[in-house]
Amino acid sequence: MTLADADDRNVPGLFDDAEPPVTAPVQRARSQTTKIAILLFLATCASTFLAGTGIGKVTAETTLNDYLWYGFSYSLPIMLILLCHEMGHFLTARWHGVPATPPFFIPMPILGLFGTMGAVILQPQGRGDRRAIFDIAIMGPLAGLVIAIPVAWLGVQQAELAEFDPRVGSITFHDPLLLKWMVQAKFGELPPNHDVELNPLLFAGWAGLFLTGFNLLPIGQFDGGHLLYCLLRKWAHPVSFLILGLGVLNLVLSQSPAYFLAIFLLLIIGVKHPPTQNDRVPIGWGRTISGWLTLGLFFLCFTPDPITINTPEPFREPADALQPANRTAVPSEVTPSDSRP
């Protein structure tokens, strides 16, 4: 994700800009920014490693080395996906001469299942014309998917089918459409009461696809918001407000807090995309087609209800079990749940 800083002139040296003279305060500010970025990166490596240790299969024979392997098997691919995504933004910004900070990763060691809330680079507002902002926005998700899709596919290949009991509590990770196709390609139609067992590599692929789809939301300063504004300019604003309204409606109807934080952040950052340095610069048919196709990836990578916590279903004895005849109670037939990785 890329964000425009509203008043970057009050933070000298924050952005890698070659125009002002490189004075000692500017050098110190840049050095401090780089140190912060490195520390956040290392902290996010640690938090994703910690999250990964709780993902793998745990049996009586599970050892400390197994937990360490689970942590690395999740942390390494998810960090690589996020790094490629953000470096796609950063390097494209440098190529266009648009100043930008290095990626700031966001660790989340306790509250987040992913171990992170992603990463962001900061750009000064009003720097970069329509074509430059388009290129910066599109390269992030495309670079991330180059890693996320193979990781998800390898995770599916390592996965196994497992039978689940709906009377036992569990967490369901609903698959985006692209991952559903991968699961179907390997396992075909899943038998009743069976699902794909989660493994660290598969979870990294699932998280990478979902975070990419989430970033492609055509609103505000998400990557999808940048693309939509570059495609439609001021006509992107009504679409952004419509998407926000649908998100709020989904939050109210589903009573799910999954997107409460996202909506809160959107209201703080702003729903309307700020103008570029020059909105009149043409982007051409090539960028227009690739922009709409990339926005279409939102429907392949995003799921509106990503995580469901399943409460145990109470066991109900058949009515005839109350009769004096000697019979063994048999659970009533249950229907299979949604596919879970």
Residue with tokens 């696809």: 209
pLDDT top residue among 113 and 170: 113
Whether the Cβ atoms of residue 18 and residue 284 lie closer than 8 Å to each other: no
pLDDT value at residue 12:
47
Q: pLDDT grade, residue 303 (50/70/90)?
A: confident
Q: Is there a domain that residue 22 lies in?
A: yes
Q: Is there a domain that residue 317 lies in?
A: yes
**pTM (two decimals):** 0.82
Q: Which residues pair with 116 in a beta bridge?
A: 107
Q: Is there a domain that residue 340 lies in?
A: no
Integer CA distances (angstroms), 24 to 14, 36, 102, 122, in order: 13, 18, 20, 22
Q: Is there a domain that residue 328 lies in?
A: no
pLDDT tens profile 29-73: 678 888 999 999 999 999 999 999 988 777 778 888 888 999 999
Backbone angles phi, psi at 167, to 5 degrees: -85, 0
Count of beta carbons in the 10 Å neighbourhood of residue 332: 10
Range of the domain at 98: 2-322
| Beta-strand pair 170-173/194-196 | unpaired
pLDDT value at residue 15:
58
Give CA–CA dist 108/142, Å, rounded: 25
Q: Is 170 exposed, middle or buried (0-12, 13-18, 19+ CB in 10 A)?
A: middle
Of 76-90, 154-168, 169-183, the range with the highest mean pLDDT is 76-90
Q: pLDDT grade, residue 148 (50/70/90)?
A: very high
What does the pLDDT average to over 317-336?
A: 42
pLDDT tens profile 182-216: 999 999 888 887 788 889 999 999 999 999 998 99
Q: Is there a domain that residue 83 lies in?
A: yes
Q: Is there a domain that residue 338 lies in?
A: no
What does the pLDDT average to over 258-287?
A: 83
Number of domains in the chain: 1
What does the pLDDT average to over 165-173?
A: 70
pLDDT value at residue 13:
55
Residue 288 belongs to what H/E stretch? helix 284-301
Question: Over the Cα atoms of the chain, what is R_g?
Answer: 23
Q: Is there a domain that residue 19 lies in?
A: yes
Give percent of the chain with pLDDT exceeding 70.
Answer: 79
Q: Is there a domain that residue 329 lies in?
A: no
Q: pLDDT grade, residue 167 (50/70/90)?
A: low
Integer CA distances (angstroms), 232 to 3, 273, 287, 290, 295, in order: 19, 11, 12, 14, 13
